[in-house]
């Protein structure tokens, strides 16, 4: 059963019980008060009638008393009976004489003092056949005459309780109405409260279910300052931690796969190199010998040249492969980045000239020295510049921009190398750093893989960014110490 329904059932039951209890107590007090008021009124009425007829009663004028009594009878005062000293009826209204048991007996104690009274509630059948009864409050009070030490007689009246009953009914109805409204307001308030409590809980449950399905990007927007708010904050922290851990695990996983891949490539390339190198050297030597021999025509020489070129390619491939898979230690030293860039450009100068490429260097500020393996960083820059040279058309442009990046985790030197070639298609962007990924017919696909390996060894990063123009743009970040 949902929490909200259970809460509502408990609150309604509790409120209902409380309302019934309060109503019962209040009703009891009210009914009691109405009864007391009726009783006081009855005693007063009986005493007043006795007082009023006292003279006629003393002189024994029963007709005179009766006449007065008949005048007083109405829908509330049903009967009045005067009893003499011997407890015998002296005078009464005509109607009550039909009810002999009421008319004949005086119930008051013969020793009753002034202020004493007798009270009884009874039903009298008004229309017996129809089952109509009148509820009566019967009150009898003593009559004392001045100077007389003993009771002179008594007056008994019968008051209809119909009015009192109507009043009781009205009071009960009002109380029930108040109770129902109270209950309704209470239940309404409880429903609102239940909604306020369970709505954030629903959000929490929703978030937990999503997390259990592996979606850690859950953020619960509850900013209340109570326990639920605290729970939501802890929940958000937990999902952030989970997200972070998931990302770290993904990175670690990727690194593991990469490391395993490299290890396999290393093993394969070592065995290839071992199997190919020796026969290749003898093939190369034999070709050279044949080339040196006399009597070769130009066509034969040309064929042998092509073979030698092919062997050169294979040798180069083996060299690159071994270079890539070899895990060599870094020989760290302090270098100026500008200097490494200049040296790299010098090494590629001929290629740039051949293609008439315009190379620009932008240095935004004075850069601190970096602790790196100079040869390796040069190799990285050369690989990227070679690619750029290959990408641009004749008369193309390459730009190298150097700047300093200050962040929370220390500062880094940024090297942005962009060209105005065709750029890298979106589908290739994810793969270009993978070993042996190439789109060139003569390429090996190790240039960028090697570059990334070296940069990662330096705890830096390399990736492509959007170029303002059309071509490719590589972003290299190398950490450097802050100058003191
Ligand atoms: N500046 C660039 N413009 C366009 N594409 C590029 C650029 N640099 C790299 N690439 C793409 O990335 C691929 C991988 O480059 P990488 O240097 O690793 O290998 P390669 O140049 O093909 O071969 P090699 O091992 O001889 O360098 C390239 O084949 C090319 O498709
Ligand atoms: Mg390359």
Strands 358-363 and 397-407: parallel
Q: Give the domain extent around 282.
A: 253-325
Are residues 295 and 423 located together in one domain of the fold? no
Mean pLDDT of 67-85: 92
Structural domain ending residue among the three candidates 270, 292, 325:
325
Pocket test for ligand 1, best of 385, 448, 476 (most atoms within 8 A of CB): 448
Question: Ligand 1 pocket, 440 CB below 6 A?
Answer: yes
Domain shared by 310 and 348, yes or no: no
**If you measure from the C-alpha of residue 191 to the centroid of ligand 2, how many angstroms do you get, rounded to a whole number?**
70
Average pLDDT over residues 378-396: 94
Last residue of a domain, one of 147, 171, 195: 171
Q: What is the band of 484 on the pLDDT scale with cuts at 50, 70, 90?
A: low
Helices 227-292/298-325 angle, 10° precision: 150
Return the C-alpha torsion angle 232, 237, 241, 246, nearest 10: 40
Residue 410 and residue 289 in one domain: no
User: Distance between CA atoms of 73 and 63, rounded to whole angstroms?
Assistant: 16
Q: For atom 20 of ligand 1, which residue has the closest CA? A: 445
Q: Whose CA is nearest to atom 31 of ligand 1?
A: 439
Environment class of residue 375 by beta-carbon count within 10 Å: exposed (0-12), middle (13-18) or buried (19+)? middle
pLDDT in tens, 18-55: 989 998 999 899 889 989 999 999 999 999 999 999 89
Provide the pLDDT for residue 91.
Answer: 94
Q: What is the pLDDT confidence band of residue 80, given thresholds at 50, 70 and 90?
A: very high
Kindly report, residue by residue over 158-190, the tens digit of the pLDDT: 999 988 888 889 988 998 999 899 889 988 988
- The whole-number pLDDT of residue 388 equals 96
Dist. CA 143–CA 106, nearest whole Å: 13
- Percent of the chain at pLDDT > 90 equals 45
Q: What is the rounded average pLDDT of the residues 286-308?
A: 87
Q: Are 139 and 159 in contact (CB under 8 A)?
A: yes
Nearest CA to ligand 1 atom 17: 447
Supply the CATH number for residue 64's domain: 3.30.450.20
Q: What is the DSSP string of 126-161?
A: EETTTTEEEEEEEEEEEE--TT-SS--EEEEEEEE-
Give the mutation target among 318, 422, 447 for probing the ligand 1 site: most ligand atoms within 8 A of CB. 447
Residue 128 confidence class, pLDDT cut points 50, 70, 90:
low
CA distance 385 to 382: 5
Q: Residue 444 CA: which ligand is closest?
A: 1
Q: Taking CA 443 as the corner, what is the angle to CA 439 and CA 447, rounded to the nearest 5 degrees? A: 95
**Which pLDDT score is estimated for 417?**
96
> pLDDT band at 441, cuts 50/70/90?
confident
421 lines ligand 1 (CB under 6 A): yes
Question: Which is the closest atom of ligand 1 to the Cα of 446?
Answer: 25
Pocket test for ligand 1, best of 359, 381, 387, 465 (most atoms within 8 A of CB): 387
- Position 255 pLDDT exceeds 90: no
Instruction: Please check whether residues 287 and 413 belong to one and the same domain.
Output: no
Q: Is the pLDDT of residue 399 over 60?
A: yes
Phi, psi of 158 (to 5 degrees): -120, 115
Ligand 1 contact via 451 beta carbon (within 6 Å): no
> Is the CB–ligand 1 distance for residue 424 below 6 Å?
yes
Please give the number of the atom of ligand 1 that sits closest to the Cα of 471. 3
Q: Does residue 391's CB lie within 6 angstroms of at least one atom of ligand 1?
A: yes
DSSP-derived letter for residue 467 is -
Structural domain includes residue 381: yes
pLDDT at position 483: 60
In a shared domain, residues 294 and 345: no
Instruction: Write the Ramachandran bin of 214: left for phi over 0, alpha for psi from -120 to 50, otherwise beta.
Output: left
Q: For residue 367, is it within any domain?
A: yes
**Terminal Cα distance for the chain, rounded:** 67
Same domain, 371 and 433: yes
In the chain, how many domains are there? 3
107 in Cβ contact with 93 (< 8 Å):
no
Question: Does 92 contact ligand 1 (Cβ within 6 A)?
Answer: no
DSSP state of 412: E
8 A C-beta contact, residue 317 and residue 356: no
The Cα 166–Cα 349 span in angstroms is: 117
The answer to whether residue 110 sits within a structural domain is yes
Nearest Cα residue to atom 28 of ligand 1: 438
Rounded to the nearest integer, the mean pLDDT of the chain is 88
Q: Is the CB of 377 under 6 A from ligand 1?
A: no
Average pLDDT over residues 389-407: 93
């Amino acid at each position: 059963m949902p929490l909200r329904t259970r809460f509502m059932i408990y609150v309604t039951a509790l409120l209902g019980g409380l309302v019934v209890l309060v109503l019962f107590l209040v009703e009891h007090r009210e009914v009691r008060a109405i009864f007391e008021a009726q009783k006081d009124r009855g005693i007063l009425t009986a005493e007043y009638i006795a007082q009023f007829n006292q003279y006629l009663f003393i002189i024994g004028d029963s007709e005179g008393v009766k006449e007065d009594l008949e005048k007083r009878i109405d829908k509330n005062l049903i009967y009045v009976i005067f009893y003499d000293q011997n407890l015998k009826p002296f005078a009464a209204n005509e109607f009550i004489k039909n009810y002999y048991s009421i008319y004949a007996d005086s119930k008051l104690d013969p020793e009753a003092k002034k202020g004493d009274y007798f009270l009884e509630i009874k039903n009298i059948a008004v229309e017996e056949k129809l089952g109509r009864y009148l509820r009566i409050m019967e009150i009898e009070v003593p009559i004392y005459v001045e100077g007389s030490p003993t009771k002179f007689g008594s007056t008994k009246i019968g008051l209809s309780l119909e009015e009192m009953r109507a009043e009781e009914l009205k009071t009960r109805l009002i109380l029930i109405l108040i109770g129902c409204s109270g209950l309704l307001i209470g239940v309404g308030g409880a429903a609102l409260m239940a909604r306020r409590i369970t709505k954030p809980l629903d959000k929490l449950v929703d978030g937990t279910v999503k997390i259990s399905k592996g979606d850690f990007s859950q953020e619960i927007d509850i900013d209340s300052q109570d326990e639920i708010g605290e729970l939501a904050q802890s929940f958000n922290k937990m999902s952030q931690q989970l997200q972070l851990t998931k990302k770290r695990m993904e990175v670690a996983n990727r690194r593991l796969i990469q490391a395993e891949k490299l290890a396999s490539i290393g093993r394969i390339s070592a065995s290839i190199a071992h199997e190919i190198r020796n026969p290749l050297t003898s093939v190369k030597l034999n070709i050279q010998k044949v080339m040196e021999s006399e009597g070769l025509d130009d066509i034969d020489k040309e064929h042998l040249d092509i073979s030698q070129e092919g062997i050169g390619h294979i040798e180069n491939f083996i060299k690159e492969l071994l270079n890539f898979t070899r895990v060599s230690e870094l020989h760290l030293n302090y270098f100026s980045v500008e200097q490494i860039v200049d040296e790299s450009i010098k090494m590629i100068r001929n290629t740039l000239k051949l293609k008439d490429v315009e190379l620009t260097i932008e240095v935004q500020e004075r850069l601190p020295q970096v602790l790196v393996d100079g040869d390796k960083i040069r190799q990285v820059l050369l690989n990227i510049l070679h690619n750029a040279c290959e990408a641009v058309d004749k008369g193309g442009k390459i730009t190298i921009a150097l700047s300093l990046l200050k962040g929370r985790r220390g500062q880094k030197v940024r090297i942005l190398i962009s060209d105005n070639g065709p750029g890298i298609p979106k589908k290739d962007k994810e793969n270009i750093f993978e070993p042996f990924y190439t789109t060139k017919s003569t390429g090996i696909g190790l240039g960028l893989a090697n570059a990334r390996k070296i940069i990662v060894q330096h705890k830096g990063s390399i990736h492509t960014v959007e170029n303002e123009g059309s071509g490719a743009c590589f972003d290299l970040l190398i950490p450097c110490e802050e100058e003191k």
